[in-house]
Amino acid sequence: MAYETIEMLIDGAWRGKDGGDGGGEDIINPATGEVLGVCPHASAAELDMALAAAEKGFEIWRNTSPLARQKVMEGAARILEDRIDAVAETLTREQGKPFGESKLEVGFVIDMFRWYGEEGKRVYGRIVPSRVPGARQMVVREPVGPVAAFVAWNFPGTNVIRKISGALGAGCSIIIKPSEETPGTAVAIARALQDAGLPDGVLNMVFGVPDTVSRHLLASPVCKKLSFTGSVPVGKHLQKLAADTLKRCTMELGGHAPVVVFDDADVEKAVKTMGGFKFRNAGQVCISPTRFFVQEKVYPHFVEGLTEVAKSLKVGNGMDKGVEMGPLIAERRIEVMETFLNDAREHGARITTGAERIGNVGSFFAPTVLSDVPDDAMIMNEEPFGPLAPVAPFKGIDDVLERANALSFGLASYVWTSNGATARAMSDGLNSGMVGVNNPAVSTPETPFGGVNESGYGSEGGIEGLEAYQRVKFVTEVGV
């Protein structure tokens, strides 16, 4: 029954083992209600220490060669490989997802360390031919400076490593505030980096009352960049706070992904793949399929198939063998699911399975399928962030494209078809940062992950995720 000891990392020192100078809060296992430990809160003085450390850490890290940086990141990857079972257990116990999913997530953390460590060696500038004989014009990429980052609880490893690996690969220092609900995985990542020899002050990890921490850190001119993963309203709020010191921002915000299934698709495969993907992490995924649009001819068959997938899932404690879906993160999310379902019923939707909490220990909710859901139901407009799958029929491509694009979100979209022209027309027409055609694999270390419109802007993953932590300098030399 291992769970990480939660402390904050400031200037290379671990602080706040039994609660920070700013107090603390209990960390709850959402499957059992058990208290796992105490998450310390930073005081204002500790946040100032973190800012000073990040400033100092930036000077050290930007002057460390990319090769030396990569060695530290590779070292952290190897340490996490050795510790993968313990870290995955911490992840499952604090967040709830099945142990196998947690292990895959820690594997993604390891991959990200490796990919960004290597890619940091390939930060190329360019020489631009000059208009003046004998002059040399150079475009140079530099690390942007210390970074302030805040992330959500749904992927305690992935959300954290997307910030840390890009920042460290580019030569930036970082102060990160992971979620207070899931601090253990983040602390395990920080310990691996420290054990691999990361210099003091390069990575600082704090916890606290989110609004207090972000106001404090963002008011300071020390951090030159804000990177946030979370909801649209909080993203807008933080961007306003960052405006006073004109920090650059990356915003990874909410989504409401349409899945469009045409009648020429491999419907069995679509049901199986998107059904499994829908209920992964109990639907608490920003790119989770959340609006299923299915062409009329195959609609009844699809609804039936998706219902069977939902019914077949084993729900329970993620540490138990064979469990395929864990609890929601906390009790408060059960009420949100009920609000969505009551509204959908009032709008005439039909529940084909689920729609109830499971048991009275832990925050479990049954995998749920709703059919004939009208476009004006709340669930077709607001992100459900839970195990609810609303399905609606469509006639043709023009009608469905308009409906898929009707919201202000624009994170991920999915299309199922065997027709190349349809696939292209859809991927060209969809307003979203990522499109999966006949597959949902839109998140890898080497490809850009990010949204458009109110789902945010900027990418994490790929070379774009490194550029997010760089600034450009133009140097023109004459006479040397």
Residues acting as catalytic residues: 252, 286
Site membership for ligand NAD, residue 94 (CB under 6 A): no
The 155-184 site mask, x for binding ligand NAD (CB under 6 A), equals ----x-------------------x-----
The DSSP annotation for 311-322 comes to HHPPBS-TTSTT
- CA dihedral for 142, 145, 149, 155, sign (positive or negative): positive
Nearest to 145 by CA among 252, 241, 247: 247
Residue with tokens 């469009």: 260
Site membership for ligand NAD, residue 385 (CB under 6 A): yes
Site membership for ligand NAD, residue 153 (CB under 6 A): yes
Applying the rule CB under 6 A, the residues between 19 and 78 that interact with ligand NAD are none
Site membership for ligand NAD, residue 252 (CB under 6 A): yes
Which range, of 58-66, 79-87, 231-239, 471-479, touches ligand NAD by CB under 6 A?
A: 231-239
Which range, of 131-139, 145-153, 267-275, 337-345, touches ligand NAD by CB under 6 A?
A: 145-153
Select from 150, 262, 302, 340 the one that contacts ligand NAD (CB under 6 A): 150
The CB density around residue 122, as the number of other CB atoms within 10 Å, is 10
Residue closer to ligand NAD, measured from CB, 176 or 303? 176
In this structure, the strands spanning 35-40 and 24-28 are antiparallel
Structure tokens at 455: 């789902």
Burial of 308 from C-beta contacts in 10 A (0-12 / 13-18 / 19+): middle
Site membership for ligand NAD, residue 468 (CB under 6 A): no
Q: Is 293 helix (H, G, I), strand (E, B) or coil?
A: strand
What residues pair up with 259 in beta bridges, in sequence order? 292, 414
Residue closer to ligand NAD, measured from CB, 234 or 468? 234
Shortest Å, Cβ 462 to ligand NAD: 14
Site membership for ligand NAD, residue 231 (CB under 6 A): yes
Task: Assess contact for 249 and 360: CB atoms under 8 A.
Answer: no
C-alpha count within 13 angstroms, C-beta hemisphere, residue 438:
14
Residue closer to ligand NAD, measured from CB, 66 or 210? 210
Which range, of 59-67, 246-254, 355-363, 365-373, touches ligand NAD by CB under 6 A?
A: 246-254
Site membership for ligand NAD, residue 229 (CB under 6 A): yes
The DSSP H or E segment spanning 434 is strand 434-437
Site membership for ligand NAD, residue 383 (CB under 6 A): yes
Query: How far apart are the C-alpha atoms of 409 and 256, rounded to whole Å?
Result: 6
Which range, of 67-75, 247-255, 304-312, 319-327, touches ligand NAD by CB under 6 A?
A: 247-255
Residue closer to ligand NAD, measured from CB, 259 or 411? 411
Shortest Å, Cβ 197 to ligand NAD: 29
Query: How far apart are the C-alpha atoms of 185 and 172, rounded to whole Å?
Result: 22
Site membership for ligand NAD, residue 210 (CB under 6 A): yes
Query: Alpha-carbon dihedral of residues 332, 335, 341, 347, nearest 10 degrees?
Result: -110
Query: How far apart are the C-alpha atoms of 29 and 92, rounded to whole Å?
Result: 9
Select from 30, 40, 75, 254 the one that contacts ligand NAD (CB under 6 A): 254
Applying the rule CB under 6 A, the residues between 272 and 291 that interact with ligand NAD are 286
Task: Assess contact for 14 and 194: CB atoms under 8 A.
Answer: no
Residue closer to ligand NAD, measured from CB, 145 or 433? 433
Site membership for ligand NAD, residue 154 (CB under 6 A): yes
Shortest Å, Cβ 163 to ligand NAD: 10
Task: Assess contact for 393 and 413: CB atoms under 8 A.
Answer: no
What residues pair up with 368 in beta bridges, in sequence order? 388
Select from 234, 259, 271, 404 the one that contacts ligand NAD (CB under 6 A): 234
Site membership for ligand NAD, residue 211 (CB under 6 A): yes
Residue closer to ligand NAD, measured from CB, 169 or 451? 451
Shortest Å, Cβ 97 to ligand NAD: 13
Chain residues that interact with ligand NAD, rule: CB under 6 A:
150-154, 159, 179, 210-211, 214, 229-231, 234, 237-238, 252-255, 286, 383, 385, 411, 451
